[in-house]
Amino acid sequence: IFHVFLHTRRKMGLLFLLIICQCAINSIKTHSVSKPNIILLMADDLGIGDLGCYGNRTLRTPNIDRLAEEGVTLTQHIAASPLCTPSRAAFLTGRYPIRSGMAAFSRVGVFLFSASSGGLSSEEITFSKLLKQKGYATALIGKWHLGMNCESNNDFCHHPLSHGFDYFYGLPVTNFRDCKPGQGSVFLKGVQKDLVIPVQITGIALVSLAVVQYIGLLKVPFQALSYFLLIITISLVVLIFFFYQFRQLNCFLMRDHQIIQQPLSYENLTQRLTKEAMKFIERNTDTPFLLFLSYLHVHTALYASENFQGKSKHGLYGDAVEEMDWSVGQVLDVLEKHNLNDKTLVYFTSDQGAHVEEISSAGEVHGGYNGIYKGGKSTNWEGGIRVPGLLRWPGVVQAGAYIDEPTSNMDIFPTIVKLADAQLPSDRIIDGHDLLPLLQGEVTQSKHEFLFHYCNAYLNAVRWHPGNSESIWKVFFFTPNFSPGDSNGCYDSHVCFCHGGFITRHDPPLLFDLSRDPEERVPLTPETESRFYEIIRVIQQAVDNHTKSLHAVPNQLSWDNLLWKPWLQLCCSSLFQSCYCDYESGGGPLQVHLG
């Protein structure tokens, strides 16, 4: 009996010790996942096939690959849009861009000018707003592309500082070819195509009026003709002035509300952005912080500093990728230096897939590689929306794990909001889902049963992952017409469009099973898939439910909101001085750089 008593006592003691240890572990784990630092790294137009951790064997990306080795790799991470502006709006808000008015009904789906009046509405709630309310220091460094002003050139209604960021250092719009001398003008090429017919019609109308006036068939009042000619002349002068000054008016660097370099200089630009990011981290080692480092790489115009030029196997594009990877390494090193690794969640992605149609005037490929996936930027083929998704958080997130479930860049919103102990908004639909249960292996299936893929404001495709199946069904209601027809993109127009003669509609919709055909090569038919009509029916019901959840909101990408408005133009000196200044080099408005 005595031995039984001792044995029982020993077991009870061990059980009690195990309970205490488990409580301590749970306490540590709970503490570790509360209010971590957040670093969000976003590339621009990077292909999923450009990274070593996604299979590339010729581009060197050791620092980005390290995130994969020490964290989780999402293999089916989906951008909410295949274009910059709507994708970034969805990322910041956790909502489909159609809900925030950041999806265009016109051909142009992104902001082109710094002096447009559209942008991310002040009614939208960003993760930066919510984290700032919870005591986080917040910074955006790099590209914004979500609007600037509404009614005057200093109201800054759409500015990053109006959306929860304490600090902004970067570009208010984006990196255009037009911003870098000698890189051509994709923008001007598109405008020229659109202006040819109106100019021809105007010319024919003027000649016709002159002829009928001369032969006496019609008497046109001289005053009316003069007004008409004056309007045409003024319009042409404004147009010529704008395109001649495009670089100065739209390509500039800001710190908070102040322009510090106009036009933008590409000299050591990535180094400057990286230095700003590192300084922000070092200022906040004792405070929880949110850093959104939004790279200009690898959107054209391509650029790379002297240390990286000519070093890759893929020309200037490869140089830019490898320079960006260096920058990621610098950010990771500063975390390690200050013992912040275990306190910091790091996320790396791209806003959409590679822009496959990007080819320089010299014939050099300036677009990236989307791996096995079809299409690219501006399309909802997998190449346009399947993007890198890497998350590292030592001790909390599984290291070296792969997750093949559908996830979205909208998922970052609820994930980091919950980590910051903030409340998700209850007055609106949040389309993203918390990723942490997936990342920690607590669940094996994504909450995204359906994902809706928009081409601008038009529902283009739907992805369905049934809970009881490994299949991932994807239907297309229309597809872009590639040009040339046997190519992998819309090379004639530089990007693919979403309506009219640019698309082919499908009834019944095209159906693919991505689990068996990730390249989207062979559409399924009722003959090759016995459940064809059942799958279409389920997806159509989901579309109906989704459509009912949408509410009318102001269209931020209407023509009125897209057009250049001179009274909204930001200029660090004056238009008469051609908006030249360079405070970055220690000079002011009179320090002019013509390079």
Tokens of 38: 């957040």
| 523 is a domain residue | no
Average pLDDT (444-450) is 96
The answer on 141 and 64 residing in a single domain is: yes
β 137-143/167-171 pair status: parallel
* pLDDT, average across residues 154-171: 98
Do the domain assignments include residue 539? Answer: no
For the chain, give the mean pLDDT: 90
In a domain, 459, yes or no: no
Residue type, 5: F
Q: Which residues contact 62 (CB under 8 A, 6 or more apart)?
A: 52, 325, 329
- Return the pLDDT at 9: 45
Q: Is the pLDDT of residue 199 over 90?
A: no
Asked which of 199, 216, 244 is the last residue of a domain, the reply is 244
Q: What is the per-residue pLDDT for 588?
A: 53
**Measured CA distances, 282 to 160, 165, 256, 593 (Å):** 21, 17, 19, 32
Question: How far is it, in rounded angstroms, from Cα 77 to Cα 139?
Answer: 25
Number of domains present in the structure of the chain? 2
| Cα dihedral 334/336/338/341 (nearest 10) | 110
Distance CA 463, CA 458 (A): 15
Cα distance between residue 557 and residue 492, in whole Å: 24
Domain assignment present for residue 5? The answer is no
Q: Is the pLDDT of residue 378 over 50?
A: yes
Tokens of residue 430, six digits: 């949040």
Looking at the structure, tell me whether residues 108 and 221 fall in a common domain. Answer: no
Burial class (CB in 10 A: 0-12, 13-18, 19+), 554: exposed
Query: CA–CA separation, 293 vs 312, rounded Å?
Result: 23
Is residue 576 very low, low, confident or very high in pLDDT (cuts 50, 70, 90)? low
Paired tokens of 173: 């719009």
pLDDT of residue 222: 66
Q: Are residues 258 and 406 in the same domain?
A: yes
In a domain, 216, yes or no: yes
The tokens of 80 are what? 């909410």
- Same domain? For 83 and 151 the reply is yes
Report the pLDDT value the prediction gives residue 36, as an integer from 0 to 100.
98
Answer yes or no: do 60 and 194 share one domain: no
- 332 and 192 in a common domain: no
Same domain for 337 and 421?
yes
Q: What angle separates helix 315-337 from helix 269-283, to the nearest 10 degrees?
A: 20
374 and 407 belong to one structural domain: yes
Q: Is residue 19 part of a domain?
A: no
Tell me the residue range of the domain where 303 lies: 37-175+252-447+560-568
The verdict on whether omega for the bond into residue 484 sits within 30 degrees of 0, i.e. cis, is: yes
CATH number of the domain bearing residue 216: 1.10.287.550
Q: What pLDDT, in 10s, does the model give residues 252-275?
A: 999 999 999 999 999 999 999 999
Active site residues: 84, 145
> Average pLDDT of 210-225?
71
d(Cα 154, Cα 257) in Å, to the nearest integer?
8
pTM confidence score:
0.89
pLDDT band at residue 316 using 50, 70 and 90 as cut-offs: very high
Confidence of residue 228 (pLDDT cuts 50, 70, 90): confident
Residue 226 pLDDT grade (very low, low, confident, very high; cuts 50, 70, 90): confident
| Pair 352, 412 in one domain | yes
Confidence check: pLDDT of 97 > 70: yes
- pLDDT at position 14 is 44
Mean pLDDT of 481-495: 95
C-beta separation of 38 from 415 below 8 A: no
Q: How many residues does the chain have?
A: 595
Beta strands in 164-306 (DSSP E): 167-171, 253-255, 258-262, 289-294
Domain assignment of residue 290, yes or no:
yes
pLDDT exceeds 50 at position 458? yes
List all residues 6 or more positions away from 109 whose beta carbon is below 8 Å from its beta carbon.
81, 83, 85, 86, 103, 378, 456, 498, 557
Residue 531, in any domain of the structure: no
The 10s digit of each residue's pLDDT in 45-83 is: 999 999 999 999 999 999 999 999 999 999 999 999 999
Beta carbons of 501 and 467 less than 8 angstroms apart: no
Residue 474 near residue 536, CB atoms below 8 Å: no
Distance CA 176, CA 299 (A): 8
Does 148 have pLDDT greater than 90?
Answer: yes
Q: Is 349 helix (H, G, I), strand (E, B) or coil?
A: strand
Identify the H or E element spanning 450.
strand 450-455
Please give the torsion angle defined by the CA atoms of residues 449, 455, 460 and 466, in that order, rounded to the nearest 10 degrees.
-10
Per-residue confidence (pLDDT) for residue 30, from 0 to 100: 41
Q: Are residues 293 and 351 in the same domain?
A: yes
DSSP tally for the chain: helices H, then strands E = 14, 18
Cα separations (Å) of 89 from 84, 157, 323? Answer: 9, 15, 26
The answer on 71 and 206 residing in a single domain is no
- pLDDT band for position 5 (cuts 50, 70, 90): very low
Q: Is the pLDDT of residue 13 over 60?
A: no
User: Does residue 562 contact residue 106 with C-beta atoms inside 8 Å?
Assistant: yes
Distance, in Å, from the CA atom of 584 to the CA atom of 40, rounded to the nearest integer, reads 25
Q: To the nearest whole percent, how much of the chain has pLDDT over 70?
A: 87
User: Is the pLDDT reported for residue 218 higher than 80?
Assistant: no
95: domain CATH number is 3.40.720.10
Q: In this structure, are 279 and 376 located in the same domain?
A: yes
Token pair in block for residue 444: 């094996």
